[in-house]
Amino acid sequence: MNTKLRSIGRIFTLALLISCTVWQATAQVSYQSREEIPAKYKWNFSDIYENWEVWEADFKAISVDMEKIQGFKGKLGEGSDNLAEMLKIQEDLMKKAYKVYQFVSFQSTVDQKNMELMAKLQQVQLLFAQFGVATAWISPEMIQIPEATMKEWVASNPALKDHKFDLMDMYRLQKHVLSEEMEQLLSYYSQVTGTAGKVFTALSTADIEFQEVELSDGKKVKVTPGVYSQIVTNNLNQEDRKKAYEALYDVYYKNKNTYAAIYNGIVQANWAGARAKKYESCLDARLEGNNIPKDVYLNLIKTVKENTAPIRKYIELRKKVLGLEKYYGFDGSISLTDYSKNYPYEDAVEVVTESVLPLGKEYQAKLKKATESGWLDVYENPGKRSGAFSAGVYGVHPYMLLNYDETLDYVFTLAHELGHTMHTTLSNENQPFATHGYTIFVAEVASTFNERLLLDHMMENTTDPNERIALLTQAIEGIIGTFYAQTMFADYEYQVHSMVEQGKPVNAEILTNVWGGIANEYYGDATEKTKYSNYPWTRIPHFYNSPFYVYQYATCFASSAKLYKDVMEGDKKDRKAALERYLTLLKSGGNDFPMEQLKKAGVDLSKPETIMAVINQLDELVDQLAAELEKVKKS
């Protein structure tokens, strides 16, 4: 199927797919309303459309383009000019679609209580769903054009040049393209198959009732995910952390059978879709589109699971430093040192901008422009969604959401999201629309690369031992959260989907046992078990909203670590060549398969040493942290 046809559905999830969502602590800079926030800290929506009248014109124009596309039905095989003209109209439609959708979506993101915006968003979604049904004929008709003929057309017709990669890749996936009638039938179910995920969201947000607990200081608090994050990060009383943990997880535990039924529905839908498209497994269905070898996924799981010793060493170090007789999962966020420095936003922007200088002055200047030009929505306001993300609008620029709270963690979030923003900017500047969109398989490379640049820059420019400990802890937690945890999640998804494919039952008890088995392989007896230890599967949104997605965080982290080493180490000539390869990767959008793009940049994920490099890095960081802690102890 043509990539651009797939991408109209992907527009709905851009903020999810190119993102780093985090639970929010209480912001140091607090505004009672959005109107109070200075304009320089808010998105400039007029870069997309000056007003709603212009938006409305493009919204209507999409329907006109849809009608024009219908006029080519039965004619695509008549000649290259017909195909080129249809693709041009489709491209114009897609450019409008990005703008039409994001103009509404972004405004709704910072004003989720605005029902008028929600209604407009539903309008757009309905239009896109109609588009999917109306164009179900395109892929089956295009695939009837012989591959040899298509090669001749691409070679002789300049208007098809930009589409060469997508058009030729279509034949690799030929066996998964169904008849027009079957493709149309599947399109009717596109909304239905997403229902289970929507039920999860409703159950976990709109209908959830969080519990109240009384802490040791007599204060009563309702333990929402955000409050839980604050308590386990800042409350030094282990019993308070335990109360918050039990209060939060008990809410999900009580609904475990409902969550199991929802997840079973999602996995069953994935298996039905995979079989309908003639894939051997759900994993094959997710990987083959981007030509990712199955062994990359399975070897990642195997290699990481066999090398969890650095995590256990880190936990033992934390347990010793914190002086805990028993160590639980909810003890994992408490700082190892008395360090609570605030980082004002302007200072964070300055340090992040300074840290990317190794990528060149041109890169640095582009990043600086991003922070000064209405691309970032910085502070929390009532009605604004939590977390952070970066999402592009082709022909305009990326838009980056923050809820900046002056913590060290958010300084790294700023660097992370600016990595996405720069990746999107460079891809859009250097690629035609047909190949501007990079895959999720490479999406987290630039973001984690920027985080490593920031870590090294801050470590080089601080003499405060407590800040050094905080920075090393940040880096360690980043590897555990982005590399180890996501691989663990990927293992869980693979095991459950495999069970469904084999016709085995799925219920709450089975899901809990699967999770418990994997967790035991990762952590062993390093952490204490509780009644709720094996129930995190109930509340991880990626399982319900984007199956077989999270492994890419781990592969991207491994790729980023390898690229960083190449760019920053070795002789000048080698480093310069490595930097050029890396920047070429960021500029390449989706002009090749992601595995090939990474190989050109210098990364081969099929080799175990690429994965082991991250594991060894974690081991070294834990040793470095232990040394820094010993220095503080002696001083």
Positions marked active-site: 417
Whole-Å CA distances, 625 to 331, 336, 470: 18, 10, 9
Q: Mark 598-614 as b/e (b = at least 16 C-beta within 10 Å).
A: beebbbebeeeebbeeb
From CA 320, how far away is CA 259, in angstroms rounded?
A: 37
Please report the sign of the dihedral spanned by the C-alpha atoms of residue 511, residue 22, residue 400, residue 206: positive
Phi-psi region of 594 (alpha: psi -120 to 50; beta: other; left: phi over 0): alpha
CB 526 within 8 A of CB 519: no
From CA 25, how far away is CA 145, in angstroms rounded?
A: 56
Please report the sign of the dihedral spanned by the C-alpha atoms of residue 448, residue 454, residue 457, residue 461: negative
- Residues near 273 by Cβ (< 8 Å), separated by ≥ 6? 186, 193, 285
The CB-side HSE value for 585 (13 A sphere, CA atoms) comes to: 31
Phi-psi region of 278 (alpha: psi -120 to 50; beta: other; left: phi over 0): left
The letter for the amino acid at 396 is V
Whole-Å CA distances, 244 to 209, 236, 386: 14, 13, 20
- Residue by residue, DSSP assigns 243-291 as HHHHHHHHHHHHTHHHHHHHHHHHHHHHHHHHHHTT-SSHHHHHHGGGT
Question: Nearest to residue 539, comparing CAs of 252, 211, 141, 151?
Answer: 252
From CA 133, how far away is CA 145, in angstroms rounded?
A: 22
Count helices and strands (H / E) in the chain. 29, 5
Rg (CA), the chain: 25
